[in-house]
Structure 1
């Protein structure tokens, strides 16, 4: 039975989010009573937007990654737990027996919570169930008990749905994405950290009044407040930190690429809106007909939030900051690497919870990444054990491996509880 489930899980995850989510969007539209043509176009438009968004984010990562490599080497960072990135982390998380079962568990939790009105979110972001799978797998390895591991994964899934509901209105209003919530397994666990940092900043005289929102940046920074120009300037600074000043054509092309990313990403977000409006309208009519006026959200990947200029800018600025943190943070053994070019994902929910304030996004980002690295350090060999079991070859020079995107405080707490059993 487990083998069958593993094969089904593998088949679903092998489709990738760009195929899997559009299929779910199409099915949902049809179930909610939308016409075939509208349902098909909604699904295909979402797929096109997702592919386009990932292409442009891929450009950002491919531009920034060589800079990261050079900075890590030149700055002589020698920490012994290597960040191999979310892609490797997700594959490893699904490779355990516990991880292979988590899609069924997470879907079951979602259906149960919807039927009992404990959530308004239908999570179609199945690909990112790997975060639940990682939690389940770590707890399984620590406790040696499959049931406890699956319960931990289910708790993670339930927490994501609750936090998605609590942040849905602010996400919808700030990013102009109707009927959407974000139950992404890592992103939502940043919410309590963001809330705590904002609470503290609100009580510091002077600091509480610093507001670098989009309007302020555009008005006060002049032409440098434009996403295109701001991205290009940040690219120049990052390139100089990587030593690109000796290769001016490379420096300029890298800078312009980063500027282009900041300008183009919002165009793809508009396509997401076009697709999701069909789902939202159909869902409202369906819910009103069958369940009165019950509200309902479509749970999606935090990738749809990356388009805001504040998010991209914070992600770029944080790259050298996190490298410095890796050296000076007491107790840290993690060498940021694989996920470093994707730091915008780690602060994806900060702008909407901080009114688009770039200053607060950076402060929150520093706190978030400090927590992430310390948690990854605490996990130690857990991910390495999973990797070895999955047949992954540990890179030379790394005693252990991790992924910054696995540095989840909820996973850490559940693993500590599991250690008692």
Structure 2
């Protein structure tokens, strides 16, 4: 156990750019690729991820200060500072029960695969912290390891099933075959997006609307080009931040670069994934006749989509404005504003790029992040202090757009920390009914998985 955990610690410490090539190479060998081809696929994915990370870091460096400046210009002081997902990940990995939770997530995935209750083989180990943080917080509040472990197991099962059900949407919109996205930071938005999209489809204005970023480009002509749109949006953010003209232009060019460069980096994922995806399908057809396996990857593979980035750049200033007036909110958005693309990626895919729906659903999602982040900020702050994380002096409390600010995580956290005798059974029954509906009723009626996702 210690030896295996040491290996995981080494991989995690090396970061996803090292961990992803290693894991993909091993997966490739399992699926029958020779070591040379498997390693090349893994390395290609690692290079693509490194490129995306560099561009996202570049985006964070430029958008972060501008977003902070926009908030400071309002003169509003909120009591919980958004310190970013990286700080939350550090809190998670510092927990004394993290080893148990990580192995629990792995075991749940393996058991569900063996029992044919999921088709997602989750290799996104780096992002297991999104699942584990719920168990960490439950354990901290209840002082009960079994409740913490139970919360993590429930989170894992829900995550893998959501990844299965949303896979056709991912494949159809992002054109990535054989891949699912079990990254909670992106996936959890579907808990809100699915029912809200269904509701909007009942309203003629939204049901008939087909307006997308591509349509905007067509109607706007020169101004609809991705690099021009990036320039305009970046300059608008700079103007709202009160920058001088030179800085406004610099931010505009920076955002233009983001819209142009990220799609080029994400194309490397397709190149690296195809051999693995093909091998996985052949392997699954041989071992499990009539069954398809999906490789579960980090949602970073899709956040470079032009619709996702543009939607996120529109949502960011609107989220800041909303945080200032939203009743019951105490969170000051800051560090995680740059990862808004992760929170809206699945929304964009679900609506098939409908810009009007993307903005409305995206704002509801970010509103939930603010409310849930406000509710759990005291606990998150206490945990950070308990593991020796330095919080700085700018805020009494800390929060994030990660951890239990995400609606899926918040629901599980609430069930396991407040009136467990009632809420845990209710949670399990409701999720069981949803599971039965998707994997039982719909299949009996002959609906394809793509139809199931579309109807949801």
C-alpha separation in 2, matches of 1:285 and 1:46? 21
Q: Alpha-carbon deviation of 1:228?
A: 0.9
- Do the aligned partners of 2:284 and 2:292 also contact (CA within 8 Å) in 1? yes
Deviation for aligned residue 1:9: 4.8
Give the structure 2 partner of residue 79 of structure 1: 78
Which runs of no fewer than 5 residues in structure 2 stay unpaired? 421-456
Determine the structure 2 residue equivalent to 1:254.
251
Contact map agreement 2:88 2:400 (CA 8 A) in 1: yes
Alignment length (residue pairs): 418
RMSD of Structure 2 on Structure 1 (CA) = 1.6
- 2:28, 2:410 → 1: CA distance? 38
Is 1:218–2:226 an aligned residue pair?
A: no
Higher mean C-alpha displacement, 78-87 vs 212-221: 212-221
The answer to whether 1:333 aligns with 2:363 is no
Deviation at 1:207, TM superposition (A): 3.6
Deviations 1:114-151 (A, max 9, x none): 00000000000001101111100111112210111011
Matches within 5 A, 1:19-418: 19-244=18-243, 246=244, 248-406=245-403, 407-418=405-416
Compute the displacement of 1:10 (Å). 3.4
3-state SS, counterpart of residue 276 of structure 2: helix
2:447 aligned residue: none
Which segments of structure 1 move beyond 6 Å, counting only runs of 4 or more?
A: 3-6
TM-score by length of 2: 0.88
Q: Following TM superposition, by how much is the alpha carbon of 1:158 offset from its aligned partner in structure 2, in angstroms?
A: 1.0
TM-score, normalization by structure 1:
0.95
Write the distance in 2 (CA, Å) between the matches of 1:136 and 1:260: 39
Indicate the SS of the match to 1:332.
Answer: coil
Q: Secondary structure at the match of 1:122?
A: strand
What is the distance in 1 between the residues matched to 2:69 and 2:102? 38
Counterpart secondary structure, 2:233: helix
Q: Contact (CA 8 Å) 2:185, 2:342: kept in 1 or not?
A: no
Check conservation: 1:77, 1:335, Cα contact below 8 A.
Answer: no
- Per the TM alignment, residue 7 of structure 1 is displaced from its structure 2 partner at its CA by 5.1
Structure 1 residue 6: deviation in Å? 6.6
DSSP-derived class of the 1:96 partner: coil
CA distances 1:336-368 after superposition (whole Å, capped 9, x unpaired): 111012211110111110011122111111000
Q: Which moved more, 1:112-121 or 1:143-152?
A: 143-152
Cα pair 2:164 2:180 within 8 Å, conserved: yes
Shift of 1:176: 1.2
- Structure 1, gaps ≥5 residues long: none
1:80 to partner: Cα distance: 0.4
Q: 1:167 & 1:355 partners in 2: Cα distance?
A: 13
Give the CA deviation at 1:209.
2.6
